[in-house]
Structure 1
Amino acid sequence: MQRHESLQPLSREHHQTLKIARRLQWGEPDADLLRDLTEHRGELEAHFATEESIGRQALRQCPTDTTLAGQLDRMQREHRQIEELLTAVLDGDGEQSNCHRLGELLVAHVRFEERELFNHLQEGCLPGQAGEPA
């Protein structure tokens, strides 16, 4: 499915996140990995803010869509979980089990957004879609 223009940059960013997530899952938490994760942290924060903004706009577009509301709630809960675990890992709790857990959470989160949330958003809840009021 061709992504809506507002979601395309997010999908590209997901690809970068998956690269780091796989390293977290299968690699040792060495200095290179932790440095890359530190650098990626700011990108994740901006990414989450953009997704949440798009989600708020979509909910205004489709205020009675309970599926969307549930998906957006899940997205936000997972964003907070990722942020908390990322902080723990970068604040010195970079043991392999936490890195592995963060990697698993990132992969599952990206899959959820790409396979469920983004597809649902494209069914008519994004402002500016053809036939929909902006």
Structure 2
Amino acid sequence: MAEAPKNKPIKRHKAIQPLSREHHQGLLLCWKIGKGFEKDIEPERMMNYLAWFWENHLKLHFEIEEKYVFPVLGENHELVEQALEEHEHLKYLFQVKEGLADNLKTVRRDLEAHIRFEERILFNEVQKIASEEDFQKLKEHHDEEISCGLYQDEFWI
């Protein structure tokens, strides 16, 4: 599949825009992990943030994608299969309780790659074939970006 140019903004259908904004929050999470390592923050503190982020943001985000976005392409579509495999992998990483520093590095790398894949490839394919009914169903169930609130321990600052 052809990849979208990295320097040109991708025009998103209004129904998918909240998911794209949530992807930005995921990229910020990756940045925060990097800042945590730069500041020699204990991995436990960063993993606490990951657990909070999972419960307050990413878990619901994945559910919405799996229920309303991926079915547009069909469960046997190679891009959907890849996205679902990556979701399972990331779900696992967010639950890891040992080897925290290495796990955090893996989360940072793999979450960023997953978001880039969805934004540059998967969502573009969905937009090509989705019907207005598909977009309307997504909009009905997810019209606004998931707000995960404020986290008390801003270790990245």
TM-score range relative to shorter protein:
0.7 to 0.9
Is the Cα contact below 8 Å between 2:62 and 2:87 reproduced in 1?
Answer: yes
2:95 corresponds to which residue? 87
Alignment counterpart, residue 116 of structure 1, candidates 115, 121, 146: 121
- % of aligned pairs identical? 31
Which amino acid in 1 is paired with 2:27?
L
Name which of structure 1's ranges 35-44 and 10-19 shifts more when overlaid on structure 2.
Answer: 35-44
Q: Which has the higher contact order (CA 8 A, sep 6+)?
A: 2
Q: Which runs of 5+ in 2 are unaligned?
A: 1-9, 136-157
Which residues in structure 2 correspond to 1:1-134 (within 5 Å)? 1-25=10-34, 27-28=36-37, 30=42, 31-42=44-55, 43-59=57-73, 69-88=77-96, 92-93=97-98, 95-128=100-133
* TM-score normalized by the length of structure 1: 0.77
Shift of 1:33: 2.3
Give 1 or 2: higher helix fraction. Answer: 1
Shift of 1:112: 0.0
Shift of 1:39: 1.6
Aligned residues: 121
> 1: distance between equivalents of 2:36 and 2:49?
13
* TM-score normalized by the length of structure 2: 0.67
Q: Which runs of 5+ in 1 are unaligned?
A: none
> 1: distance between equivalents of 2:85 and 2:54?
17
Which amino acid in 2 is paired with 1:112?
F
> 1: distance between equivalents of 2:116 and 2:35?
18
Deviations 1:90-109 (A, max 9, x none): xx325211110111000000
